[in-house]
Every structure is written in C-alpha cells, then in structure tokens.
Structure 1
Amino acid sequence: MKIRIPLAACTSVVAAMALTGCGMLPGGGSGTEKVTLWLMKGSASDEFLDRFEKAYEAEHDDVDLEIKIQDWTGIGAKVHKVLEGKDTADVIEVGNTQVAQYAESDQLSEVTLEGLRDWGNKDWLKGLAEPGSVDGAQFGVPWYAANRVVIYNKDLFAAAGIKTPPATREEWIRDTRKLDEGTRQGIYLAGQNWYVLAGFIWDEGGELADQGDGQWKGGLGSPQAQRGMSFYKELQALGDGPANGDEETPPQTDVFARGDVAQIIATPGSAAQIEQRNPELKGKLGYFPIPGKTAGKRGAVFTGGSDLIIPANTGRRRAAVEVISALVSEKWQTDLARTMSYVPNKTTLAHVIEDNEATAAMAAGAAQGRATPTSARWAEVEAKNPIKPYMTAVLSGADPARAAAVADQEIARVLNQDR
C-alpha cells in the first residue's frame, strides 16, 4: 500500500532523486500509468481510501493510483497552480460552490459528454450538479453531499405532547409555539443564519441573486425573498437566538447542550458535539428534514459537499475519467455514504442510508437541495456578507424592503466586478 502524503512533501526533492522521489516518473512502475488524485482532508476515512485504492488497482493493473490529501486552508491557490501547469494532479476534489471560480480560468476539462452518457446525471442532486455547471457545460462531477436538518430533543417534544415531527411549515410553527414555554426555547435560531434563510427564499421561488443580460442583481428585495425572510422572522422569534449573531456566536451546539432548547437547525454531525458537552442527551436526539410549505415536499436546503474536476492540462484524461467513474459508481457511493454518513450524489441512492435516522433526514432534504449563485465572485460576497446585517436589521424592526435594497446593491456590486 502506498503512503498518502501531503503535497508539500514533494516540493524540495533533490536532483539525485528526481526520477524516483514522489513519483516523478510518468508511471509508478514498469508498464504502469500514474494517476494522481487529490482529496480533501476529512472527506473520506483512511479505511475507505485503502479499500478504494486496493480495489481500483486490482481492477486496473496498468494504473498506479496516487492519492494525495490536501488541507482546505489555502487549497484555492494550490488548485490554480495545477490548472496553470505548475503542479500535477489528474482528478481534484473541490467544494461544490468552488467550481465556478476554477472554470473561469478556462483551464478545466469539460465532462458534459461523460456526465450525460455514463454517470447518470439525470439523478444527480441539484445542489451538487448545478454549481458544477457553467454556461451549460458540466465541469464538476457530484461526489457527496451534506446539508442541514432539524435536530430536536425527544424528551422536550414528548413533554409538549408532540408525537411526530412536523411535516409542513404550518405544523412546524404550531409545534414550536407549544415548545416555547417558560424557560424552554422552542427553537434556537441565530439571527444571521443566512444558509437557513436561503432555503426559505428558495421555497418561495426566490433567489439570493439573479443574472440577466450579462448582469447580476441581488434578489433579496423580490416578493418571494421577502416572504422567505418573513417566515424566518416568525420562526426565529420562538427562541432566544441573538439577532446580531450567527450560529457560531455563541456556538448553537453549546446552547442546545444545556437541555432547555427543543430544536436547532444544523448538520447531523453536530450531534456528536452536543453529546460530548452533555452526555445525558445521548439517545435523546432526533432528526427530521426542514419542513416545506406542503406535506408532499420537503423544505429547500443549502447543499454542501464536493465535486470532482479534471484539469484541462492533464495528459491522462482517459484515466482520470475512469477514476471518477469508479468514485461515483453505486458500489463506492454506497460505501462512502455508509462509512462517512454522507448523502450519495444521486437521489436514487438515498435508500442506501435509510437505516440511519440522521443521514436519512439529510437525504430527504437533499432532494430539494440548492447551492449559492454560480458565480466566480460569490465567495467575495460571502467574505463581507451583506445578507447578515440585512437579516439583523429586519429582525430588529427595520423596513424589510429598504434593508434588502442596501444588501442587494452590495451583492450586485461584487458580482458585477470586471464586467
């Protein structure tokens, strides 16, 4: 088994080792072709990677698969070095919302043909597939997803006489009002949890930003987005979440762990942090998808996760495509989802994690998943994030339309740079 090493270890190889150190030869051995796969730290366990690598090389005896693990910090600059030909990788895992900024360089390999023909793109989760598509061309191949669900305290639900989780927004508000009594909070929802707001806006048919005639404009002022913000305000009022803070100020898991909060909206992985802080809550946490406006449709959620891309300058495109084909196959999607408690990249594979309450709740929501606007500039919007002060202003009594206009103006300014 080859040792997986960080990329930095290959940057100072002396000349005497140039043909052998860090896999500098085109192939890892006689008659083999080296294919380099960059994956992000924490995306897959060592056990999964060992299984995949052994199985892949057994089925492809002419391939030496080298997996290099990267840190998320500073990954953008590293990927651009590969795209510019200053470093080498044949397949790279990237965040689903990062694909647009890499595609802007014109140095990604389009995978539209393979996606339509071999990878079952009609069943891909939209929250992974849509940000991987730029101007109708597919550059990112969905790999795995995760999204927020409602984590709830089963004891508090039982004490309030609530036997089953709500299926609609109307039921959710009704139940949360029952839960919000005395010192108990019906829900802890910070005022600046803009990812949650995005889902409510999408449910209403709105957008965070729209593009038309080559120009972007902010979407918070639309009637649909205003309705989404109105629902957020109604729900947020049923707890003591700060109007001027996000879910990490203070950490909502710490607040929930006190035991007097009935619900939070978070990824299921937060449950481990809650139970660590309060072991008495072990076995008492439940999960359900964010409710939608009607019982037949779950609420929209922001989909996080990863796509796989191929640099245009790779000399091993065929081999790179084959590696991706394996990673997105039903066999390895099932293995990854069960090992890491992820949502598989296709709605048709949701059944493989249905025996895990938390992951099943994620999968149900992921079917209605979305991603942020497909713009190379969106990361710059998030850096200062005018959506957060907009939310605080509305929750503090400001006129929603005027507050939205201020935020929309800033969103448009950033997205339309260099146009």
Structure 2
Amino acid sequence: MRFLAVCTALAASAALTGCGQSGGADAAPTRVTLWLMKGSASDDFIGKFSADFEKEHPGIDLQVRIQEWKGIGDKVNDVLAGKSKEGADVIEVGNTQVAQYVETGGVSELTLEGLREWGSSDWLKGLSEPGTVEGAQYGVPWYAANRVVIYNKELFANAGIKTPPKNRQEWLANTQKLDKGEQQGIYLAGQNWYVLAGFIWDEGGELAVENSGEWSGALDDEKSVAGMEFYKQLQVLGHGPKDADEETPPQSDVFARGQVAQIIAPPGQAAQIEAANPALKGKLGFFPIPGKTSEKAGAVFTGGSDLIIPDKTRHRGQAVDVISALVSEKWQTELARTMSYVPNKTSLAHVVEGNEGAAAMAPGAAQGRATPNSARWAEVEAKNPIKPYMTAVLTGQDPRTASKTAAAAITKLLKQPAN
C-alpha cells in the first residue's frame, strides 16, 4: 500500500512506470510477487530465500504466493493476459508447459539474460529445451527430478548381486536372476510411458518430430520400435499388469510387500514404501536407469520446473533479479539439498553427493529429455494413444503395425487447431 500511495502522488509525471525502482532513502519498496507451486519448496527454504533476497535488495518487498497445480493453467493465462486481480512478476511453471503459455501469448523473452547472466550453456537439456521456442528462451530452468531404479538391497544380496548394473545387458541378467517364484525381478506396469520414452531416446528414436513447423508422431520409426522391444524384455521379468499404468495399483504399494526387487520411480517414492512397510527401512537402494553401454546412464524424462516472467509485469528488472537469485549456485545448492532435487546445471550435480536418491538422479538428468516441445502435446497426454500401443505390443500384437496406429493418432492430435 505504501508503494501505491507514492505512485499515486506521482501519477501526473511520466515517470509513473518507473516508480519505486530508483527512489531515495524514503522511497517505498517495490512489491514483487513470485508464484511458486505447492510442494516445490519447503516453508523453511522460502523463508530463508525471501529474507536473504530482501537483505540483498533493500528496495524490493518480495511476496511469495503458493499455488495449487489444479487449475493453474487458467490462472497463469489470466496473468499473461492482464486479467488477474492477483498478478505475478515471476511464475513457476512445469517445464513442459512453457510452449503452451508462449503460444497463448504474454510471456517475456529472456534470451539475452539467459545467455549473459545465467550460464545457459550448462543447463540441463530436459529443462532448457522445453523452455525454448523457435530459438528464443522464455523459461529459465529452476530444478529437475527424474526416475531412478529403487531396489531392495536384501533381495539383491540374496541373489548374489553385489553391485548395481551399469548397462542394459547387466540389468537384464540381474533382473532374470531376481525373478523367481513369487519374487518379481522388477515390477513394471505395461503403460508406464515415461519409462518407455527414455528407452526410445536411448535408441535414437522420438515420440514425435517436427518438420517445417509441422509435428507428427514417430513411434513407428525403427529406433522407436527398438525402445519398445527393450521395454517388453524388461516388463516380462515381473508380474506387472499389461493394461494399466504405474498408479493402478500404485507401484510403491506393490513394492512395499517385500517381494519386488526393483521399480522405476522418482526416489521420493522410497519414503512412501517405508511408510507402508517400516521393515524395509534401511533396505532400499537407488541407481540410475542403466544405458546401452556403461559409459553413460540411460536417458530419462526430466520433470521439474522453469521460471517465466509475464510481459505485463511492471517490474521486469526486479523480476530478473529474483530469477538470478533463484538460479544462483547458493540457492540451487540449498534447494537441491533441502528438497532432494537435481540442480539446473550439470556442473552442480556434486552438491547432492551424500543424498543417495538425489545422487542417483543426477547421471540420468544429464541425459534427460522432455516431451516434444509442441503446444499441442498436452492433448496427446490427455488422450494418450501411447498407452494402448504399449498394451498391444505386450499382449502379442505386431509392434510395427501397432506403432503405425499410435503414430497416426499422435499426428492427428498434434495437428489439431488450438482451442
């Protein structure tokens, strides 16, 4: 309110839009609003960051507003269109949402700042690529999280497996050893398409490709089919359903029964497993999803968040300052250690050493990818022709025929006009 009063007093001057940016000692601080999503950062982190930021920027009053994921798209679009009563100067968005918001309009381009200030050449590709539209940077990588293999150390030891596998062939061989009787070598639901995406990328395939601005499905490419064939080899070494995803039933509940040697999941699911079965406390380990060779981990879908600035903010310079602080080494380190995330740069992977789950994520994050950077991809995920394709292959249908059907369905969805 103090800021508004000062600005009202200056309303007759042409300097209105710059109010609060370079006033004297008595000038009211500029209120800058940061939207963060629920669960992305702890109250402790937010409190520390806010206090430190305001100390370093005495002219800024930073207001952090926590938002729910449900219904966030409409709220963000209202801000971008200048229709929101709340307003925001910096907004956390899912890394795969950036292209949708850019197409809607109202997102500020940040190419200059990214190249100059934020070390963009070192960003994780799974965060930076979906934040880029037609060569321009709109989303600034904040943090990443991805899947790893969570395993039962006791079952591994009983099978004589002393170290986690480093490549696919070792992984298959170990999983075959572990798959005996009622014990499952791995629980892998038939429609876990995020896991499939990593196998496809490892083979050099794609979910969809862009040509001259037109997107089309690519599951029928031979390399993409090879990724599905590896998925089938792995999935049969357990009793996972062929016609359901990893939440039907929740795979953490299945693992908690104690007769599953491995699941592929974010490391945070270990806490859910231990809560369901305290006897497993101390028996869970983590390793990166193995790649085709031992030289590098397998590709993974990178989840996480980017930061955007609305075009209509009156405080772009201060909003840039907020992002600069959030992506600095100091606060990337604090966030990664507090929340067990992977930092936004490959050079900062070392900061999670000592946190077994987060450390297992880091090698995969370096090979991480995001879903195709089409504003229509949300339609693909909503109707998701990938899931029935996977079930078809796992139940014996010809992979090439099934993949053509799925690729055509994806192409049709990607060519639909915007709503």
Question: Which TM bucket (shorter chain)?
Answer: over 0.9
| Alignment deviations for residues 143-188 of structure 1 (CA, whole Å, 9 cap, x no partner) | 0000000000000000000000000000000000000011110000
What letter matches 1:85 in structure 2? G
Counterparts of residues 166-315 of structure 1 (less than 5 Å): 166-315=165-314
Match of residue 44 from structure 2:
47
Match of residue 11 from structure 1:
none
- TM-score (normalised: structure 2): 0.93
**Distance in 2 (alpha carbons) for counterparts of 1:223 and 1:168:** 21
Match of residue 318 from structure 2:
319
Deviation at 1:27, TM superposition (A): 6.3
Match of residue 344 from structure 2:
345
**Distance in 2 (alpha carbons) for counterparts of 1:285 and 1:34:** 46
SS of alignment partner, residue 160 of structure 2: coil
Deviation at 1:197, TM superposition (A): 0.2
Match of residue 372 from structure 1:
371
* Aligned 8 A contact 1:187 1:239 in 2: yes
Match of residue 14 from structure 2:
none
Match of residue 86 from structure 1:
83
Deviation at 1:221, TM superposition (A): 0.4
| Alignment deviations for residues 25-51 of structure 1 (CA, whole Å, 9 cap, x no partner) | x76994311111000011001110000
**Distance in 2 (alpha carbons) for counterparts of 1:273 and 1:253:** 7
What letter matches 2:40 in structure 1? S
Match of residue 132 from structure 2:
133
SS of alignment partner, residue 392 of structure 1: helix
Match of residue 157 from structure 2:
158
Q: 1:61 aligns with which of 37, 58, 83?
A: 58
* Aligned 8 A contact 1:201 1:225 in 2: yes
* Aligned 8 A contact 1:97 1:372 in 2: yes
SS of alignment partner, residue 69 of structure 1: strand
Deviation at 1:106, TM superposition (A): 2.8
Match of residue 405 from structure 2:
406
* Aligned 8 A contact 1:27 1:64 in 2: no
**Distance in 1 (alpha carbons) for counterparts of 2:169 and 2:318:** 51
**Distance in 1 (alpha carbons) for counterparts of 2:353 and 2:36:** 26
Identity, % of aligned positions = 70
Deviation at 1:417, TM superposition (A): 1.4
* Aligned 8 A contact 2:215 2:374 in 1: no
- C-alpha change, 1:50 and 1:27, in structure 2 (3 Å) is farther
SS of alignment partner, residue 308 of structure 1: strand
What letter matches 1:44 in structure 2? A
What letter matches 1:50 in structure 2? G
**Distance in 2 (alpha carbons) for counterparts of 1:417 and 1:398:** 28
SS of alignment partner, residue 141 of structure 2: strand
- TM-score (normalised: structure 1): 0.93
SS of alignment partner, residue 402 of structure 1: helix
SS of alignment partner, residue 301 of structure 1: coil
| Alignment deviations for residues 2-33 of structure 1 (CA, whole Å, 9 cap, x no partner) | xxxxxxxxxxxxxxxxx9xxxxxx76994311
Q: Does 1:76 align with 2:73?
A: yes
What letter matches 1:322 in structure 2? D
**Distance in 2 (alpha carbons) for counterparts of 1:204 and 1:285:** 29
